[in-house]
Amino acid sequence: AQSVTQLGSHVSVSEGALVLLRCNYSSSVPPYLFWYVQYPNQGLQLLLKYTSAATLVKGINGFEAEFKKSETSFHLTKPSAHMSDAAEYFCAVSERGNEKLTFGTGTRLTIIP
């Protein structure tokens, strides 16, 4: 069965600093990978996805993620944090040929002014 591990349930960074949110998956075959963001009192919004093209994926709001098969990782980064980035971030995986999404437990990002 697919599983996703997000290291760090809470991450705090200073405004302007690098954002790094970690995601590792378990799968024998490279899956589809997604990052979603959840702002307070809202649903989940897609940030970016990896389906098998370029391993470095660019998303909205300046975020990007790199798929590393050897490390079974799909970490999310942003070079310079903004106050508006404060939210909860979820990594999710789906097996190829399957619509089911399996989510990590989420990382709450706090931005320090």
Partner 1 sequence: EAQVTQNPRYLITVTGKKLTVTCSQNMNHEYMSWYRQDPGLGLRQIYYSMNVEVTDKGDVPEGYKVSRKEKRNFPLILESPSPNQTSLYFCASSRGDRAGQPQHFGDGTRLSIL
Binding residues for partner 1 (CB under 8 A): 9, 32, 34, 36, 41-46, 49, 51-52, 90, 92, 94, 96-101, 103-106
Residue 110, beta-bridge partner list: 12
First vs last C-alpha separation in the chain: 41
Helix and strand totals (H; E) in the chain: 0, 12
The least CB distance from residue 29 to partner 1, in Å, is 13
Q: Which is nearer to partner 1, 62 or 106 (CB)?
A: 106
Residue 57, beta-bridge partner list: 65
Q: Which is nearer to partner 1, 53 or 83 (CB)?
A: 53
The least CB distance from residue 14 to partner 1, in Å, is 26
Residue 76 to residue 23: CA distance in whole angstroms: 8
Q: Which is nearer to partner 1, 75 or 104 (CB)?
A: 104
The least CB distance from residue 39 to partner 1, in Å, is 10
Token pair, residue 107, equals 């990382």
